[in-house]
Amino acid sequence: MSATQEALKERIKELTCLYEVSSIIVSADIGQIQETLRAIAFSLKKAFQFPKHTEVAIKTSICSIETGSINEPLHLTSEINVFNKPNGTITASLNDDKSSFLKEEKQLLDSVGLKIGNLLERIEIQQNETSLKRQMEHADRLGILGELTAGIAHELNTPLANILGFAELLKAEFEQHKSVSEDLDKIINNAIFSREVVKKLMFFACEMPQEMNQVNLVPSIKNSLALLDASFKKSNVTYKVQIDEEELLLKADTIQLTQIIFNLIINAIYFSPKNGVVTIEALQSKESIILKISDEGTGLSEEALEKVFQPFFTTKPTGDGSGLGLSVVHGIVASHKGEISAKNNQNKGATFTVKLPKSH
Ligand SMILES: Nc1ncnc2c1ncn2[C@@H]1O[C@H](COP(=O)(O)OP(=O)(O)OP(=O)(O)O)[C@@H](O)[C@H]1O
Ligand SMILES: [Mg+2]
């Protein structure tokens, strides 16, 4: 074959490779990125002048693949960039010392690197969209649940007040009658319990009246901790406070703010192992005051991560919890125009983060 013919053959191989890589990328299944990169690597290997002696390696932040072992002394490398930031490399190596790479082969490597970068960008965009969609669906569901709950709570409020009122009247009348009086006590106690549940549901639905004042979060935390001291001791759990500033001012209803702190710390204690440490952190960003409560417990399952803020979701044994604590917290935070999120720690346990608007 003449030199021109040889060169032409090489160009055809390179163009075929680019075409193949494009087709692979177009039909790529985002869940199977490893397979896609492998197909690209083998397609690229074929395009080199000496395919038998050439190996290709693709390294990205998601995964890496090699067609064979890479020969360090003789290799070409191109960067893979994702949104203009280096994310990995694509390398071709020759394990035959007598040959060398062609100038066009470096260009081919660059082009394929660029295409892989585009693919990774597409994946990132799609992942962000999916997570945004899930967040919105979640917020939507809580919103609908809130409206439903508000309705039910209102409907139950009046009859419950009646049950309680009339039972108390009867109790006064039957004071001498021991067994009737005991039965009436049961009615009264159950009505009071139900009223508490209704109250919590109204918190969740942001239907509780509130008195907004300028409050300093730091003493609120310290007072709550003083009141919860016995609970910590009883469960053999200790706490660590990380607050750098003496004043973190926000606009809030003082009682409701305490309810947020209480519910989160009580959960952290409950789910802590023996000798576990609960960390309470408070800080400020430009616009918000941030409260973080983390523990060293079991953390949250997939299901729990999705449902923690829904009323009646609980993993506690029956009788131990109503599953309303975090829905109350969620309602209060929402009515303060704040945000709350739950996530698992890298090591162990969970962290709840509350963000509330600063008082200006
Ligand atoms: N710190 C935590 N670690 C692990 N799981 C948690 C934590 N906090 C909450 N959860 C999970 O979220 C569920 C709901 O919490 P929530 O406070 O709403 O209700 P509860 O604690 O179960 O009952 P209640 O607060 O009414 O006594 C818990 O049952 C648990 O599964
Ligand atoms: Mg709770």
The 10s digit of each residue's pLDDT in 147-161 is: 888 888 888 989 999
How many other CB atoms are found less than 10 A from the CB of residue 245? 12
Buried b (16+ CB within 10 A) or exposed e, 117-132: bebbeebeeeeeeeee
Closest CA to 130 of 138, 118, 119: 138
64 and 188 together in one domain:
no
| Arithmetic mean of pLDDT over the chain | 92
* 283 in Cβ contact with 253 (< 8 Å): no
Cα gap 50→99, rounded to integer Å? 8
pLDDT of residue 22: 93
Q: What is the pTM of this model?
A: 0.67
Q: What confidence score (pLDDT) does residue 150 get?
A: 85
pLDDT in tens, 204-215: 888 888 899 999
Q: Is 325 in the pocket of ligand 1 (CB under 6 A)?
A: yes
Q: Are residues 219 and 191 in the same domain?
A: no
Residue where one domain finishes, among candidates 103, 132, 161: 132
Residues 138 and 127 in one domain: no
| pLDDT score of 291 | 98
Residue 235: the pLDDT is 97
Q: Does residue 73 surpass a pLDDT of 90? A: no
Residues 230 and 144 in one domain: no
Identify any residues that bridge with 216 across adjacent strands, giving them in sequence order: 249
Task: Report CA Rg, the chain.
Answer: 32
The total number of structural domains in the chain stands at 3
The mean pLDDT value for 307-332 works out to 92
- If we measure between CA atoms, which residue out of 317, 205, 340 comes closest to residue 260? 340
Answer for the pair 170, 184: CB distance below 8 angstroms, yes or no: yes
d(CA 173, CA 68): 92
Structure confidence by residue, pLDDT tens digits, 17-69 = 999 999 999 888 888 999 999 999 999 999 999 999 999 999 999 899 999 98
Q: 317 and 293, same structural domain? A: yes
Q: Which of 132, 153, 174 is the last residue of a domain?
A: 132
CA of 43 to the centre of ligand 2 (A): 56
| pLDDT digit string, tens, across residues 277-298 | 999 999 999 999 999 999 999 9
| Pairwise CA distance, residues 125 & 122, whole Å | 5
Check pLDDT > 80 for residue 351: yes
Domain boundary pick from 204, 230, 248: 204
Pocket-testing residue among 200, 260, 266, 267, ligand 1, by greatest number of atoms within 8 A of Cβ: 267
- Give the structural domain span for 168: 133-204
